Structure 1
Amino acid sequence: MPRSRRAGGGSGDGDGGDGGKGGGRSGHRRGGPRRRAKKSGKRKVLRWVAATLSLLILGTAGAGYLYYEHLNGNIRSGGRSGGESGVKKGSPNALGDTPLNILLIGSDSRADAKNVALGGGKDDRDRAALADVQMLLHVSADRKNASIVSIPRDTIVPIPECKGEDGKSYAATTSSPINETLARGGPGCTLTTWEKLTGVYIDHWMMIDFAGVVSMADEVGGVPVCVKTGVWDRSTKLVHGGSGLKIPKGTTEVQGEQALQWLRTRHAWGNDQGRAKAQHMYMNGLMKKLQGQNAWTDTGRLMGLAETATKAFQVSDEIGTVKKLFDLSMQLKNVKVDRLTTATVPTVEWSQNKDKLVMVQSAADKMWAMLRDDVAFDKNGDAAPGKPNSSTPTKPKATAEEPGSFKVTVVNGTAGDGEAATEGRAGTMAEHLRGKGFGQAESSRSAEPRKDSVVLYPKAAGDQGKANAASLAKALGLPDAAVRSDAKAEGITLVIGSDWREGTTYKKPRIAAGDLPQGADDKVACMDVYSVYKWDGKS
């Protein structure tokens, strides 16, 4: 017992307790259990640390999940489309990529008290909202360039039949301005109208109101804009109203209500085209600001933007979650500011009302073709050496069957540009195809107006259907991109679009990057101010 106590007591003094041979052996024996005790203690500490970390991780994950669900709860969404446009999503290029098209809509809704306070118009609380800002954001398939295209709000366009989220139907019209689309079925109708006009498939819409603009401008800490002279957009003896914008000459970082005033100003810029130019300046400044803040990589910055954006925007259903919105935003991070082009469709006064506008059709058609074919609006990019571009054909996985062994239906779609269809076009092309060996080619009595000519094949037909469609396209001179799969197609179908009104061999107009119509590119360093609204910075 005494030895045991000494042994126990000696445990704190090392192995020198007894000093002798026996003591050494005894110390050796005592050392074993002592070391095991230390290891056991270490294991307890490690288990405690592991348990604590597990709780922290679970707690953080729980908080993260709750925050994620909180952000999801902020999001308001609605149906992507409000009607039938006949426009289908294009086939991927050789790398499997497709362009991204997002319709950005600015609503003038006064239904909310915040919007009334910011935009006035208390009597307009019950009025259906108008889409006074409409911009199509196009991001190239390689995600290296982007363009923003506006149509002025008072432009008269054909608006197709639409149905709202409440089930109410709105008849088609050809005498209403484009901003009324929002009141005729919601943002889905605005999207359908743009698709019908342009022949461009639009993936998503995003809509913001007055209060949303203010909160987003505050979140980024202001957006740089520039005027050549001081500006004060106010009521005059001849023109009542005005946004109230009042900033000095040079560059100002507008935020909050001042940002909204900048976006709403029209009189001081002279007209709606000037307003679109100012809005594009704001968008360019916003992109610069976000990239400068590392908004896509700074977690804290991203969380602040997410909180504000999910409250500020209403979006189409298919991007109605935080993850989908985040994935969408990540596709924009690599677009350099010098590869972002802003443009407004050239317009002239409408013959029936000088206060309304109509598009210059030739200019609009060229811009829409550039978007459909993913031709860059700028001249700042070149294809990387040795890297295939969007026009590089993919190697066929099947061999086309004999031309006369499969049926071909030819549809007249030449009314896709709003003009009257070319009479007898389908019959003419069906006869031409029979002469080229496609003996089962027949014309359809139905019409399917579209801007671009395509060869459709049933999705269920797979590689064989694609090979047959490709052989038809090649026989007519149509590009590989014109071959599309379609779940509704009953067989190989050639739709002759408004881009091919005559001739039996398709001749695709050659459009070079940056070859925008005159007057479309509206990027400026500083805005001109209409004389009546110039401000000296003193009064």
Structure 2
Amino acid sequence: MRQNSVRKEGARRRAPHASDRGREDGAHDGAARSRKPSEKGGEPPEGNGRHRRGTSGGERPPRRKRGVLRWSATVLSVLILGTAGAGYLYYQYLNGNIETDDLNLGEHRAPEPTPNAAGQTPLNILLIGSDARDSKANQKLGGAKDTFGSQPLADVQMLLHLSADRTNMSVVSMPRDTLLQIPKCTDPDDGKVYPETGPRYMTNESLGRGGPGCTVATWEKLTNIHINHFMMVDFAGVVSMADAIGGVPVCVDKNIHSRTSSGKGSGLKLKKGTTEIKGEQALQWLRTRYGFEGGTDISRAKAQHMYMNALVRKLRENTGLTSPNKLRKLADKATRALKVDDGLGDIKELYDLGNELKKVSPNRTTMTTMPFEYVGARVIPKPGDAEQLFRLVRDDIPLDGKGKKKPAKEKASDDPAAADDKIAVQVQNGTRTDVEAPVSGRAGVVAQLLAGKGFTKAAPDTSTAPVEEKTVVRYPSKELEGDAQRVAKSLGLPLSAAKKSTDVSGVTLIVGADWREGDAPPKAKKKDDTTPDSADALSGSDKKACMKVDPAYTW
């Protein structure tokens, strides 16, 4: 059941940018949600139109300090539905609580993962939180009166990856100030088209370019990870669910009071040691930047990871959730807090998802942050390390280093290869790189090598060749797959180097930048399947984790 979006028709004036607003811990985990009086209770909030955010070229001035609730309470909702089974008690009522939106507003999708031997595929869910102040409750919790009803920012972005065999789960957080390219997105409500941005736009601006589906498209463009679902939650939802769960234990190594001399800060005040927090105090914990060591989004993300781990452990133990009434109350509040894609727009789908997630034990859950490096006051994905983390998720390799995925056995073509001297092979020179010109005459040299191996019909192709990082054998149709694999094997290449492509008319060997010299392509290096240290991994079973407090914020 799709409820009306809060986005209004037509173009809007430019709302003040977050850097103009001067928010303190101001961008929080909240979703802009419409409310039906008959289903949500009360009248819809006033001034909840989403103003369009203008963008301009060039560098933006550094944002003034503001915060963000960087934890997605959506994990709570899906786990409780799976753990408690309460959703079926009043199916239609809970269905009426759920609001949906389009999954992906971009033009292209990342490829779906290949099923494992048992036919299972991983599940990827993007958890999004915005800084929207779209209701009186959210305004009271979030503060910053001048931002009421303005364009929200996707200041919480966490990718939850559930392995194909359901034995392990990973969470990857992305810092809100990450600079990247946002793809072309089309608003599903008014048809407005947002063109592709330059390479240095802040990731949190993706939400204002049509909705959460643009944030999903941005993640897929950056990571090439296929995302199955998204979930968003608002301020009020975090507080109400934290109350319903009865509190979550968190730890600080000193007394902490998140408040600056100018009045900024989340207001969190805790004594040294472990404290059970709930309600607004839980929201304060998740928003706190001023007070934790470092005072950055990164330290705040670490605090959110600790909270999520403790929350999941508590849900699995069913602590404080012993009565049907408490379970119903929590299920009600969880579904009211959510905005999801159409694929999760029914309580049955949420229930099934919860059942899948609860199969993973805390000691096989790993929280990470996207490796990054600073560019001024902002960050960019760290070259090498960020792609390494994304590849592990794409390839469904556990981030905890346990039960590593075995390499898939290469499958030979069902179509037998012709005799070597009957296989016509075009050889192209694809040795050009970003910094080096192609090796002159390379196609002819390799064609002669193939002829010496018995492929007497091998011939150089002098037409412009595509640039290839690695040597590859392309073929246009299934009946030539066996021939292409035979060429690859004769050169010592893996069978996977033979790839189907409509860009060629016959078996075509493209000599890549990896084979600029020598009589044979280089042997592929064994992949490093370890999680980068820069991802700052935290195990879900770590009960001793404790946030370090900045001495300037003790009392």
Query: Please, what TM-score do these two structures have when normalized by structure 1?
Result: 0.69
**In 1, Cα distance between equivalents of 2:353 and 2:494:** 29
1:265-280 superposed matches below 5 A: 265-269=288-292, 270-280=295-305
- 1:190 is the counterpart of 2:190: no
* 2:545 aligned residue (525, 530, 536): 525
1:360 aligns to 2:391 (yes or no)? no
Give the one of 322, 334, 357 matched to 1:332. Answer: 357
Distance in 2 separating the partners of 1:315 and 1:410: 48
Q: Which runs of 5+ in 2 are unaligned?
A: 1-85, 516-520
1:284-319 per-position Cα deviation (integer Å, ceiling 9, x unaligned)? 111101111189999777644432222111111222
Q: Deviations over 1:246-302 (max 9, x none)?
A: 121111222111111111111212111001101111111111011111899997776
Correspondence for 2:514:
502
Distance change in 2, residues 1:158/1:398 (3 Å): same
Corresponding position of 1:11: none
- What is aligned with 1:293? 318
Q: Which moved more, 1:526-535 or 1:272-281?
A: 526-535
- Aligned to 1:169, which of 193, 197, 210? 193
Of 78-87 and 106-115, more deviation after overlay is shown by 78-87
For the pair 1:74 / 2:91, whether they are aligned, the reply is no
Q: Which amino acid aligns with 1:136?
A: L
Equivalent pair of 1:469/1:492 in contact (CA under 8 Å): no
Q: What is the CA–CA distance in structure 2 between the aligned matches of 1:472 and 1:295, rounded to whole Å? A: 64
Paired residues for 1:372-383 under 5 Å: 372-379=394-401, 381-382=402-403
Residues 344 and 522 in structure 1, CA contact (< 8 A), matched pair in contact too: no
Do the aligned partners of 2:429 and 2:442 also contact (CA within 8 Å) in 1?
A: no
Task: Determine if contact 1:206/1:313 at 8 Å carries over to the other structure.
Answer: yes
| SS across alignment from 2:377 | strand
Are 1:154 and 2:170 counterparts?
Answer: no
SS at match of 1:242: coil
CA distance in structure 2 between the partners assigned to 1:473 and 1:295 by the alignment: 61
Matched-pair contact (CA < 8 Å) for 1:407–1:491: no
What is the CA-CA distance between 1:376 and the residue it aligns to? Answer: 1.3
Q: Distance in 1 between matches of 2:461 and 2:93?
A: 57
Residue 225 (structure 1) shift: 1.3
Q: Is the 8 A contact 1:145 1:335 kept in 2?
A: yes
> 2:77 — aligned with what?
none
Identity of aligned residues (%): 42
Which of 298, 317, 338 does residue 313 from structure 1 map onto? 338
Task: Write the mapping of 1:114-513 to structure 2, written as runs, cut at 5 A.
Answer: 114-166=137-189, 167-171=191-195, 172-237=197-262, 240-269=263-292, 270-293=295-318, 303-350=328-375, 354-379=376-401, 381-382=402-403, 391-393=407-409, 398-400=414-416, 402=418, 502-503=514-515, 504=521, 507=524, 509-513=526-530
The offset of 1:531, in angstroms, is 1.7
Q: Which has the larger radius of gyration?
A: 1
Report Cα offsets for 1:348-384 as digits up to 9, x if no partner: 321xxx32222321221211121122221113x337x
Indicate how the Cα distance of structure 1 residues 453 and 267 shifts in structure 2: closer, same or farther if over 3 A, else same: farther
* Secondary structure, counterpart of 1:502 in structure 2: helix
Offset, 1:104: 0.7
Alignment CA distance shift 1:360-1:142 (3 Å): same
Q: In 2, distance between residues paired with 1:306 and 1:465?
A: 55
Using a 3 Å threshold, how does the CA distance of structure 1 residues 430 and 205 change in structure 2: closer, same or farther? farther
What is the distance in 2 between the residues matched to 1:456 and 1:212?
Answer: 52
Tell me how far 1:91 sits from its aligned partner. Answer: 0.9
Question: Which has the larger helix fraction?
Answer: 1
Aligned-partner residue type, residue 507 of structure 1? A
Give the Cα separation in 2 of the matches to 1:400 and 1:296.
Answer: 62
The answer (yes or no) to whether the contact 1:296–1:333 under 8 Å persists in 2 is: no
- Is the CA contact (8 Å cut-off) linking 1:296 and 1:330 kept in structure 2? no
- Is 2:123 aligned against 1:100? yes
What residue ranges of structure 1 are gaps of 5+ in the alignment?
1-62, 384-388
Are the equivalent residues in 1 in contact too, given 2:471–2:513 (CA < 8 A)? no
Return closer, same or farther for 1:393/1:480 CA change in 2, 3 Å cut-off. farther
Q: Give the distance between the partners of 1:495 and 1:501, measured in 2 at CA.
A: 13
Deviates more, 1:329-338 or 1:216-225: 216-225
CA RMSD for the aligned pairs? 4.5
Residue type at the aligned position of 1:526: C
1:48-59 matched pairs, under 5 angstroms: none
Partner of 2:57: none
The CA deviation string for residues 79-105 of structure 1, in whole angstroms up to 9 with x for no partner, is 111213452111111121222111111
Deviates more, 1:161-170 or 1:391-400: 391-400
State the partner residue of 1:83: 106
Per-residue deviation, 1:435: 7.6
Secondary structure at 2:357 match in 1 = coil
Whether the aligned pair in 2 keeps the contact of 1:119 and 1:210 (CA below 8 Å) is: yes
User: 1:396 and 1:432 mapped to 2: Cα distance?
Assistant: 24
For the structure 1 residues 93 and 110, does the alpha-carbon distance in structure 2 shift closer, same or farther, using more than 3 Å as the test? same
CA contact (8 A) 1:101 1:202 kept: yes
8 Å CA contact 1:391, 1:480 repeated in 2 = no
CA distance in 1, matches of 2:472, 2:392: 16
In structure 2, what residue type is equivalent to 1:528?
A: K
Matched to 1:107, the amino acid is S
* Secondary structure in structure 2 of the residue aligned to 1:334: coil
Amino acid at match of 1:502: D
Q: 1:430 to 1:507 in 2, by over 3 A?
A: farther
CA contact (8 A) 1:94 1:390 kept: no
Which structure is higher in strand share? 1
Q: Which amino acid aligns with 1:187?
A: P
Q: Deviations over 1:189-240 (max 9, x none)?
A: 1111111111211111111111121122122222221111121111324xx5
- Tell whether the 8 Å contact from 1:140 to 1:146 is kept in structure 2 after alignment: yes
* Amino acid corresponding to residue 168 of structure 1 in structure 2: K
Q: 1:33 corresponds to which residue?
A: none
Note closer, same or farther for the CA distance 1:306–1:393 as it changes in structure 2 (3 Å cut). farther
Measure how far apart 1:70 and its partner are.
2.0
Structure 2 residue identity aligned to 1:367: L
Q: Which amino acid is 2:299 matched to?
A: G
Give 2:242's aligned amino acid.
A
Select 1:109's aligned residue among 124, 129, 132: 132
**What is the alpha-carbon distance in structure 2 between the residues aligned to residue 246 and residue 447 of structure 1?**
60
